[in-house]
Amino acid sequence: MSAGTTIRRIWPTPSSGPLDDAELTRLYGRADHPRLRVNFVTSPDGAVSLDGYSAGLSGVPDKRVFGLLRMLCDGLVVAAGTLRHEGYRAVRLSGPRRAWRRDHGLAEYPTLVVVSRSLALDPAQPALADAPVRPVVLTTGAATAPAGLADVVDLVRLGDDTVDLAAALTDLRRRGLGQLLCEGGPQLFGALTAADLVDELCLTVSPLLAGAGPGRITAGGPSAPRALGLRHVLAADDGVLLLRYVRAARE
């Protein structure tokens, strides 16, 4: 493997060698009950981005686990602002990952779920227009849909002025999307935490100091602290750490 691609478990039990994708898949796995997992990358000094984008903090190990987490989920949840800013494209998987999903009784692709209070979305955006599975957009009763949006997505209105996230998760689970992966952004993560809906956090720590300026991985109003249990620490040969935290009562 080239530099940065070798990942080892260093806690709780160090692995005897590099972990392959099958071993990583077992470590992250799918739960036997509904779960909302959040995945972020950060710097050690708490930055959510570098030069305005999360890609500046990401690298080969993070992207490798990022892809596996997408393979494992039923629905991929993202805020509309993050979808636009990060330039999301259609959520597609490699042939081997689609085969893994088929072998485990899953649809070939996860469903993209976009949270948008205002519906400021372009129906021609590739993430929506080119999606292999019709996306779901969670929005409010007050939002006005742009022309053509309802032709490419399922609109679900929950809440008057803000999206009722608890009701949204209930609706998604009725659709068979029990294993949800949220990729941000910070405002959505903060709102999900405040609503006590986060079951798990997968956090990549990139080995660089970003300095002052960038925001944190969470944002919004204050909320009660939520205790997490550390389940594993993985390390890549370039100094990247991959941490998995779980709400103990929800395992």
Provide the CATH number for the domain around residue 50: 3.40.430.10
Residues 181, 101: Cα–Cα separation, whole Å: 15
Looking at the 3D structure of the chain, how many domains does it have? 1
- Answer whether residue 1 is part of any domain: no
Range of the domain at 87: 7-250
| Residue 25 falls inside a structural domain | yes
- Quick one: which of 21, 90, 87, 97 has its CA closest to 55? 87
- pLDDT per position as a tens digit, 27-47: 999 999 999 999 999 999 999
In this prediction, residue 248 carries a pLDDT of: 80
Q: Does any domain span residue 2?
A: no
Question: φ and ψ at 131, to 5 degrees?
Answer: -65, 135
Structure tokens given for 244: 């998995």
Residue 117 belongs to a domain: yes
Q: Tell me, yes or no, whether 227 lies in a domain.
A: yes
Q: Is residue 200 part of a domain?
A: yes
Identify the pLDDT of residue 3. 47
Could you say which residues of the chain have pLDDT below 50? 1-3
Say if 195 falls within a structural domain.
yes
pLDDT at 4: 52
Residue 43: what pLDDT? 96
Res 240: pLDDT: 96
pLDDT score, position 249: 74
**Residue 168, both tokens:** 């949204």
Establish if 101 belongs to a structural domain: yes
